Chains A and B, each alone.
Chain A
Amino acid sequence: MGEEVKLFAVWGSPFSRRVEMALKLKGVEYEYIEVDLQNKSDLLLKYNPVHKKIPVLVHNGKPIAESVVILEYIDETWKGFPLLPKDPYQRAMARFWAKFIEEKCMPALFKCAGTEDREKAVEEACELLKLLENELEDKKFFGGENIGFVDIVADFIGGYWLRDIQEIVGVKILTRENLPKLCEWSDEFVNHVVIKENLPPRDKLIAYFRTRFGPKP
């Protein structure tokens, strides 16, 4: 089948990495296009006029924006390695937790890297992550024995982004004392055979975070 799959992405973005992880897990070939966010191309603006952001997946010329929407599309289009479970109730639970991560955890975690009321922000983030950890229970991944939809949406938490930002900013959120099960899950996540090949280069990420969040000279 003449498939043409392009992905507009940014090397360090957890949002576009979600899409790459899904494509790689399913063995889908795609063309990667790095976007300069300071200088967005006409093509990106054409494919995502509403938000002008990455990621954008373009499949046979048709664009789709918003990483979680793209994940659902990928799961419906390429059937190998399903990301969502089969059972409708389990699917609802996966979507619920993905929404929780996206709408509650992510903004709370970004607030921790800001300078306003950091202590309160950290407390709130820890409470939210505790709820997420409770959902994990004793599972290896949110998806069960293998990685699934929620694990991918939680990539910012499971991958190196959160641990490196919290160290550079000097806050304690995801620690073994606070969140032992979530830490264990994040170790499994970064060591997963496909995920580990699809995380941004760690030293480049740390250097970027130092510039963005580190103490100013």
Chain B
Amino acid sequence: MAEVTLLGFWPSPFVYRVIWALKLKGVEYEYVEEDVVYNKSDRLLEYNPVHKKVPVLVHAGKPIAESAVILEYIEETWPHNPLLPKDPHQRALARFWTKFGEDKSIALCTFFITEGEEQVKATKEAQENLRILEEHGLGNKKFFGGDEIGMADFEFGWLNLWLPVMEQIAGVKVMEAESFPRLHAWIQRFKELPTIKQNLPDHSAMLTYFKDRRAFFLASAKS
């Protein structure tokens, strides 16, 4: 068995955070695709019995679940090309914004699984949170991490591809460039980074997958 294994699911932004971290630090790993929607493997259920989700990082046989926890572990185990700054207050800010991303992930994505009035309301809520993120989180920095990318940039990395795919499928524009100029500028910088550019899921496969998902969620909501 490889020293480092990542159990993942190809359209998951949570999994991609871990991929980006491992790639940034040049850590060799074996990737194992899990069918989390229809057929979770025994291995996944053994490695993440509490949540039964991906990503799970397995290092020297020991499993770790929850992407934010995995990123902290990766940072401590392979400290070069750091994801967190040295200064304790800056580290706290990076963790604060990472937590903001985790806590607001549902609020930011509800527009995708709703329609009509509900979707209008969900879109407004997503925009309020993006406004806070842009104003207080990113500000005038080049990246969330400052001059270099860090943990918080990976937390919001989904905004660069997953969000436009979701907007296209759901038929709403949540993050207009004119309304969120700094976030848009950050996205342009983020997606040009080799680590990111070379590690993104296939765009058309994403469109197909998310189209299916939206149909599924809307149908479930009606039943």
Contacts and interface: CB of A to CB of B under 8 A. Distances in A.
Interface of A: 49-50, 59, 62, 64-66, 68-70, 72-73, 76-77, 88-89, 91-93, 95-96, 99-100, 103, 131
Nearest to A49: B136
Interface in B53-102: 59, 62, 64-66, 68-70, 72-73, 76-77, 88-89, 91-93, 95-96, 99-100, 102
B64 A76 contact: no
Interface residues of B, number: 25
Contact of A99 (B69, B76, B92): B69
A65 B73 contact: no
Given A92-B72, A95-B69, A96-B65, A65 B96 contact: yes
A93 B72 CA distance: 11
Q: Nearest 6 CB-CB pairs, A to B?
A: A92-B73, A73-B92, A88-B76, A64-B92, A95-B69, A69-B95
Contacts of B77: 88
B136 A91 contact: no
A167 to B, nearest CB: 29
Given A49-B136, A59-B89, A131-B50, A92 B95 contact: no
Contacts, number: 61
Contacts of B36: none
B91 A73 contact: yes
B50 A66 contact: no
A93 B89 CA distance: 24
A42 B64 CA distance: 41
A68 B69 CA distance: 13
Contacts of A92: 64, 69-70, 72-73
B64 A89 contact: yes
Output the residue of B64, B69, B136 with the most chain A CB within 10 A. Answer: B69
Given A69-B92, A92-B72, A95-B66, 6 more contacts: A50-B136, A65-B96, A68-B99, A72-B95, A92-B73, A131-B50
Contact of B99 (A59, A62, A69): A69
B69 A69 contact: no
Interface of B: 50, 59, 62, 64-66, 68-70, 72-73, 76-77, 88-89, 91-93, 95-96, 99-100, 102, 132, 136
A64 B96 CA distance: 8
Contact of A76 (B65, B70, B91): B91
A50 B132 CA distance: 7
6 contacts: A72-B95, A88-B73, A89-B64, A91-B76, A99-B69, A103-B102
B interface: dominant SS: helix
Contacts of B95: 66, 69, 72
Nearest to A135: B50
A66 B77 CA distance: 25
Contacts of A66: 95-96, 99
Contacts of B70: 92
B59 to A, nearest CB: 8
A93 B91 CA distance: 20
Nearest to A60: B89
Contacts of B62: 89
A96 B77 CA distance: 16
Contacts of A68: 99
Contact of B64 (A64, A96, A100): A96
B88 A76 contact: yes
A42 to B, nearest CB: 17
A96 B69 contact: yes
Contact of A77 (B68, B69, B88, B96): B88
Contacts of B96: 50, 64-66, 69
Contacts of B64: 89, 92-93, 96
A101 to B, nearest CB: 12
Contacts of B69: 92, 95-96, 99
Nearest to B100: A50
Contacts of B100: 50
